[in-house]
Amino acid sequence: MRRIALATALALCGAVAAPAALAQDPHAGHGAREGLAMQPPSPSEDAALTAAIASTTRSEADRARDVYRHPYESLTFWGLRPGLTVVEIEPGRGGWWTGILQPYAAATGGTYVAVNRPLESMGVEPGTADMVLTARGFHNWARGGRTEAYLAAFFAALKPGGILAVEQHRSVDGLNVADTAPTGYVPESYVIKAAQAAGFVLDGRSELNANPADDRDHPFGVWTLPPVRRDSQDGRTLTPEERATYDAIGESDRMTLRFRKPE
């Protein structure tokens, strides 16, 4: 029976993904890192996902961001497929991924759970989620000292073999997360080490959401860039020329990671 579970508590997930071959990352600017060796999936592989992404029920503004966030490629990289129980962490009001995941679950007999208050409630029974998806949250958790507790909760909620899907603004590696997190960016190594400490296995890395044009040197952190496009703060205001320069960068450079809970 099809159902969509919406919860305002913590939810966790587990999705079984086939082992992926790993190849060297071609982006030298980020240092040596593994990337998933794969061809972009054909839209015909999951017609329901293609339809959810293309649906006009999504706002025009959300659909305009597809060019930066690569929803089909990201979700198939993470292992989304029909019938899964997917928990999205802190999607906020009208979350961007929600507009795709919720109708996809409804169309494929899956379950979608939104969790806006992690650690108050799991939203799913322990060991029952197929996938936990978190987008752009690690910089907030690092600043608030919540990373360890959140990852432990995600791990507990996932089935053995379940997937933790991560999209996150990426700083230059080797920097101190205490310095980078206030700007919205964190080192990829920080995320990987934290997830591994929680018991997860790194199952895949992809550069599909990389943006070499993002030098991370912005007056108002990542929020200077689209889609937030902050123009002033603490007495500093961007000129029209500066605004055009930051808009031309597009959205941030982001890591796209897939972790697995061991069987």
Mean pLDDT of the residues in the chain: 86
Tokens of 185: 């960016």
| DSSP type of residue 220 | T
Residue 98: is its pLDDT beyond 60?
Answer: yes
Q: How far apart are the first and last CA of the chain?
A: 27
Q: What is the CATH number of domain 22-217+254-260?
A: 3.40.50.150
Backbone angles phi, psi at 32, to 5 degrees: -70, 125
Contact (Cβ atoms closer than 8 angstroms) between residue 9 and residue 115? yes
Residue 10: is its pLDDT beyond 90?
Answer: no
- More confidently predicted of 30 and 64: 64
| DSSP type of residue 44 | G
Cis, bond preceding 19 (omega within 30 deg of 0) = no
Q: What is the reported pLDDT for 145?
A: 96
Return the closest-CA partner of residue 194 out of 134, 144, 138: 138
Q: Give the residue extent of every domain in the chain.
A: 22-217+254-260
Q: What is the reported pLDDT for 118?
A: 72
Return the closest-CA partner of residue 79 out of 231, 203, 198: 203
Q: How far apart are CA 60 and CA 79, in angstroms?
A: 26
Contact (Cβ atoms closer than 8 angstroms) between residue 156 and residue 47? no
> What DSSP assignment string belongs to 71-84?
HHHHHHHHT--TT-
**Amino acid code (one letter) for 145:** G
Q: Could you give the residue ranges of the DSSP H alpha helices within 29-161?
A: 47-54, 60-64, 66-69, 71-78, 98-108, 138-144, 147-157
Q: What is the reported pLDDT for 24?
A: 31
User: Tens digit of pLDDT for each residue in 199-227?
Assistant: 999 999 999 999 999 999 999 999 999 99
Residue 6: is its pLDDT beyond 70?
Answer: no
Contact (Cβ atoms closer than 8 angstroms) between residue 149 and residue 119? yes
